Structure 1
Amino acid sequence: MKKTYKIDVDCANCANLMENAAKKTEGVQNATVNFMTQKMIVEFNEGKDPASVMPAVIKACKKVEPDCEIFLK
């Protein structure tokens, strides 16, 4: 399952750090962060609930980029 989230990040390098952190999160199959559109697309492992995985994604992203925001809608 893929979901798109609106994000707020200041630079392309920070977006890249967020993408790498999200990809390493348990339950995430793949993640793409687009700095230009300020969006993150997260593809979850089969059987994983996005609502239970996203808090870990946010925590991982905040660890590498404390000023970032990910809006869960």
Structure 2
Amino acid sequence: MRKSFKLENLGCANCAAKMEHDISQLPGVNKATISFMTSKLMLDADAATPAELEPIVEAADAICTSYEKDCHILR
């Protein structure tokens, strides 16, 4: 499943690159791409339904918050 998410309060391109790398390493994630210019996360995961995708999004949100305290994935 491919899905796009808006990132709220993304303030650093270097942090975005680190977030992208760490999110890509999550189990079930095929590819993660973060565009700093548009503040968007493109997520390609093995999940077949939104319910299966939610734990991945929650883990990705925790990664974002670990690099930038106020950065969150809008759902």
TM-score normalized with structure 1 length:
0.83
Secondary structure class of the residue paired with 1:70: strand
Unaligned 5+ runs, structure 2: none
Alpha-carbon shift at residue 28 of structure 1 (Å): 0.9
1:70 aligns with 2:73: yes
Q: Which runs of 4+ in 1 moved over 3 A?
A: none
Please give the per-residue CA displacement for 1:21-61, whole angstroms capped at 9, x wherever unaligned: 11111121110000001100000025472122211111122
Which residue of the partner structure matches residue 58 of structure 2? 55
8 Å CA contact 1:18–1:65 kept in 2: the answer is no
CA-atom RMSD in angstroms? 1.7
TM-score normalized with structure 2 length:
0.81
State how many pairs are aligned.
Answer: 72
Alpha-carbon shift at residue 18 of structure 1 (Å): 1.1
Secondary structure class of the residue paired with 1:51: helix
Counterpart residue identity of residue 6, structure 1: K
